[in-house]
A and B are shown apart, each in its own frame.
Chain A
Amino acid sequence: MKIGIVVSEGPYTHQAADTAYHFVKSALAKGHEVPRVFFYHDGVNVSTRLSVPPQDERHIQKNWTALAGEHGIDLVVCIAAAQRRGLLDQNEAERQGKDANNIAEGFRISGLGQLIEMGIQTDRLVTFGD
């Protein structure tokens, strides 16, 4: 079965990104497909590559990047939500005249249409938020 995922809360403050990660790992292990994870609201903050948690803590962004690389999951960060919160990829940083970009490997910035498309193309949609 194809399962689409929405993550709508930021890392560390809320458990949502962790629960979603464990859910996706289990779904893949059971042979389901997770074609896309859509990050919305504060969930976009998962995608920053500048996060440096203490060594003995999980690294939420790196966990997602690794899982996506291994299983070909499309990690989409909502552009409108990301721009509000200061998350830019290289293209957007140049376009907006900013001196830095901060999107981690494996994530890409795109529009809300990707969320709707995921709802249309998957058999189930599961939202993790707060």
Chain B
Amino acid sequence: MSEVKKFLYVNRKAPYGTIYALESLEVVLIGAAFDQDVSLAFLDDGVFQLTRNQNTETIGVKNFSPTFRALGDYDVTKLYVERESLAERGLSESDLQEITYEDEDDDWAEKPSIRIVSRAEMADIMADQDVVLSF
């Protein structure tokens, strides 16, 4: 049995203007197969990745925001979003998509995957990892 490591994917960039957000999500999806302890962090412009109502029809680029809602099926259920980063951008939790997962340890109850945390809590989460992958 191989050891389980804590992986944190740090997302600090907005979607579409650059490819980092999409290719980060691709790593998360592939990484889910490795049964590690996975968390995602969204701070700075990374919080823009999770906003509602993204519509990319006119720019001709694939809208990958619905994929975040599928992460629960991959057992990726910890999406930490920094409150200060939202506030600095005039956003609040209600501007973000609803992302949920079914908790197998709690009779498959539907629970929110997005957890709004303070900057200090985000620093603690970062300090609790084995591997930090930045995008």
Contact surface of A with B, Cβ cutoff 8 Å? 6, 8, 40-41, 80-81, 111-113, 115-117, 119-120, 125, 127, 129
Contacts and interface: CB of A to CB of B under 8 A. Distances in A.
Interface residues of B, number: 20
A127 B27 CA distance: 14
A113 B33 contact: yes
A15 B2 CA distance: 36
Given A6-B133, A113-B33, A127-B134, A120 B2 contact: yes
A125 B131 contact: yes
A53 to B, nearest CB: 25
B19 interface: yes
Interface of B: 2-3, 5, 7, 19-20, 23, 26-27, 30-31, 33-34, 36, 130-135
B101 to A, nearest CB: 20
A116 B19 contact: no
Given A41-B19, A41-B23, A116 B30 contact: yes
Q: Secondary structure of the B side of the interface?
A: mixed
Nearest to A111: B30
18 contacts: A6-B133, A8-B135, A40-B27, A41-B23, A112-B26, A112-B27, A112-B31, A113-B31, A113-B33, A113-B34, A116-B31, A119-B7, A119-B131, A119-B133, A120-B2, A125-B131, A125-B133, A127-B133
B23 A40 contact: yes
A112 B30 contact: yes
Contacts of B5: 119-120
Nearest to A125: B131
A36 to B, nearest CB: 14
